[in-house]
Structure 1
């Protein structure tokens, strides 16, 4: 009977676990996903963001722990002792014995901080520590958007390369069959179909390399997203829409305060300034109040120890005034002031770095747009040249070697065009990150 019950309980737990797992899987998007869907999922499940969120929760708990010292601190303690040899003293001509063999006490004490520099520092800095923790999460979110988008673009690039190679493969297979038919008919020598075979093999090799890269690229994207390994998805992207949104020399003016790194450094500088005040507060006294209630017990026998209590209670203030500490406070104040000065230099240096990063990103973006436009024109011309030479070859005007060269030029122009386009997309991301406009 017991085994049957144990089996039923085990099955119930298993079914509940499967149901919970199925419910979790149902919330994971599958099928064909857009860039927005991929980024949205990554912002919820990315390991980097989840770690930053946990760090914020840990930091928030630490802040609350420090602020808790402002509340009354209530403690209780107890002690007991057996005096093997009682104290004796001669008073006049008599030997007097003090105390009882058994004694014990129970102490209840409440302390209330009235003024303490540690608690004052915790109160003034808590707002900025929370702000800093929030900014760290925002920095993780921005980096996640950039990294996930670039990984997404990398897969798209491979897909477009694969499409181009498939188109070229179809053409080359047809050319190979035509060249072999002409050789078989005695119209040309075997070099034409041999060249066609070499070109066909090269394209097959390129296609195999690109096709084999998909699993690794999807695994990398899943890693960045925090996507379950047991599930799969495919991506889609509006290439024409993205191309229409690209424009040269179009960028918002740089505002340093928009960069999360700059915001983090400014927050840290505020904390440095509060730290300087904290070190100066070390000259101030510390004041606290207390209340104590102590139950004392004495007895000749242990069995009667707790029959009668002799309580005492007290309320009072503790005042601690630092007078001389060997110059320690002076050095700590000076070190804190130097830290503030260093922070100002660091902020200035970061501002210069951001300006350089922005100018570099803007130059790269405009250059990549210009290069993409030129390569697109080259691709269109390569298509036109190929079509003309193909027609001339079919009519017997051009040699097959001319057709092979035109085919190679067309494939190179197509690959270069798609590479240039995705370079524009990546440079646009880098420019938006440099501007601090990624949400």
Structure 2
């Protein structure tokens, strides 16, 4: 065999042992346009396209590759190697026969070897731990994704309701502007014929200007709120976004069963801590398994070449092969294993305290969310009653003003009270819906399919 053929054989042999390329799956994205989209459609879009959600799904894939990489140690490990040596000074040994000593030079000036070896693990503490921990790591990655999705549902819902509330506020302001424009026109006409003084007309101008300023401010804030919603759901700025607003649907969503009791296991954050504890317990077991011996088998095949002339080195080979088992038994490591076991047990105890702290936090979050919801529910009912009363007061004073009984200042005051009551009602409704989401999150009843 000449040198070129030998190199070709070596390359082919090593190539056969290399793993084939793996194509990682990518999270599919949804590029559809959100036109006249409902809350459910916006949430569904966010759960596919939000960068944070997509990153969690990629983390799941990365975790799966880590698991498979760790478990690959159970498969045969095949390696190839090659070497070449030029013995500048060959070893000389003395050989004595019948009292006469002769000096013999061992080996040849040129040597080379190609080796192909396969190793197989039969008993290994690290691989045992990887096998047992695989399902818990998969569970942890999925729980992280679930947590991200639940947070996304809450954030997107609040942002959607905020835009809807602002939209309704703009409608109220527009209605108020329409009324004020009519009042300005009427007061101007009355002033022109000398029925009223100039102050009524001027007050109407001030009220109208203030309402138009409120409208401009809300319109500008609406741009930001749409931009924030785009950010939350991963919606490109180059695409059109329109939402399906239904104020009555908001009111239908306010009711909540306040008798529900929280269950710690319903909270994904609590389940994540439980998974961490299971993994830490496995780590403790691993440190105990480190007392076990490591048993592995191997087999190799060697192509050995020897010659004094480099040009003739690869003309003839002297093959050899070995099969065997190895056993490594840790006997004493200076108390390292004992310290690692104690450390891991302490970490387990620390996670127990994390679980206890999580229970206290869940209880506090639930009590706070439920108290806020009940308070907001009362505020919403009060605001609704105030709107009805304010409408009645305004209508009465408007009739009295038209008949000349009430002053324009009284009409303006009732107008302001009505607008304030309407806006307070919308703010109370938004706060109520937000606090309901907080209660559901504290109970752990929000799911990505909800």
- TM-score, with structure 1 as normaliser: 0.93
SS at match of 1:213: helix
Distance apart, 1:248 and its partner CA: 5.9
1:262 maps onto 2:270 in alignment: yes
- The partner residue of 1:428 within 436, 445, 448 is 436
Deviations 1:87-117 (CA, angstroms, capped at 9, x unpaired): 1122232221111010000111110001111
Shift of 1:242: 3.1
CA distance in 1, matches of 2:349, 2:29: 52
Within the candidate set 251, 276, 284, 1:276 is matched to 284
**What is the CA RMSD across the aligned residues, in angstroms?**
1.4
| Structure 2 match to 1:147 | 155
Distance in 2 separating the partners of 1:331 and 1:26? 52
Tell me if the contact between 1:248 and 1:369 (Cα under 8 Å) persists in the aligned partners: no
> 1:310: which partner in 2?
318
Q: Distance in 2 between matches of 1:60 and 1:143?
A: 24
Pair 1:85 & 2:89 matched: yes
Per-residue CA shift, 1:403-436, capped at 9, x if unaligned?
0110111111010000000111111111111111
- The answer on whether the counterparts of 1:73 and 1:112 sit within 8 Å (CA) in structure 2 is yes
Please state if 1:43 is matched with 2:51: no
Cα pair 2:29 2:49 within 8 Å, conserved: no
Deviations 1:136-179 (A, max 9, x none): 11001001101111111111111011001000000011111111
Aligned residues: 416
Query: SS at the partner of 2:237?
Result: coil
- What is the SS of the residue equivalent to 2:290? helix
CA distance in 2, matches of 1:36, 1:51: 22
Superposition deviation, residue 249 in structure 1: 5.5
Preserved contact between residue 37 and residue 244 of structure 2 (Cα < 8 Å) = yes
Q: Aligned-pair distance for 1:251?
A: 4.7
**CA 1:438 to 1:155, structure 2 compared with 1: closer, same or farther past 3 Å?**
same
Cα distance change of structure 1 residues 377 and 248 upon mapping to structure 2, 3 Å threshold: farther
Relative to structure 1, the CA distance from residue 26 to residue 91 in structure 2 (aligned partners, 3 Å threshold; closer, same or farther) is: closer
Q: Could you tell me whether the CA contact under 8 Å between 2:30 and 2:49 is conserved in 1?
A: no
- Name which of 143, 146, 164 aligns with 2:172: 164
Whole-Å separation in 1 of the counterparts to 2:406 and 2:236: 55
Identify the match of residue 196 of structure 2 among 178, 188, 199.
Answer: 188
Asked if the contact 2:90–2:105 (Cα under 8 Å) also holds between the matched residues in 1, the reply is yes
Q: Which residue in 1 is equivalent to 2:329? A: 321
C-alpha displacement of 1:38? 0.3
Tell me which residue corresponds to 2:77: 73
Conserved? CA contact 1:248–1:366, under 8 Å: no
Report the alpha carbon displacement of residue 215 of structure 1 after superposing the two structures with TM. 1.7
SS at match of 2:117: strand
2:58 equivalent in structure 1? 54
- Counterpart for residue 21 of structure 1: none
CA distance in 2, matches of 1:97, 1:328: 49
Secondary structure at 1:408 match in 2: helix
Mapped partners of 1:218, 1:248: distance in 2: 28
> Any stretches of 5+ residues in structure 2 without a counterpart?
1-27
CA distance in 2, matches of 1:250, 1:348: 25
**Partners of 2:221 and 2:444 in 1: CA distance:** 32
Q: Equivalent residue for 1:6?
A: none
Q: Distance in 2 between matches of 1:301 and 1:138?
A: 69
1:236: which partner in 2? 244
Q: Deviations along 1:54-109, whole A, 9 cap, x unmatched? A: 11100100100000000010111010111111111222322211110100001111
CA 1:178–1:129 in structure 2 vs 1: closer, same or farther (change >3 Å)? Answer: same
Q: Structure 2: how far apart are the matches of 1:169 and 1:127?
A: 63
Matches for 1:109-258 after TM superposition, within 5 Å:
109-247=117-255, 250-258=258-266
Rounded to whole Å, the distance in 2 between the matches of 1:329 and 1:391 is 91
Residues 216-248 of structure 1 deviation map (CA, whole Å, 9 limit, x = unaligned)? 111111111111221112112332233134336
Aligned equivalents of 1:70, 1:249: Cα separation in 2: 53
Counterpart in 1 of 2:360? Answer: 352
Aligned counterparts of 1:324 and 1:27: Cα–Cα separation in 2: 61
Between 203-212 and 308-317, the greater mean CA deviation after superposition: 308-317
Note the C-alpha offset of 1:310.
1.1
CA distance in 1, matches of 2:333, 2:176: 83
CA contact (8 A) 1:379 1:417 kept: yes
**Aligned-residue offset at 1:121:** 0.6
Task: Pick closer, same or farther for the CA change 1:266–1:26 going to 2, 3 Å.
Answer: closer
**Alpha-carbon distance, 1:352 to partner:** 1.1
Gaps of 5+ in 1: 1-23
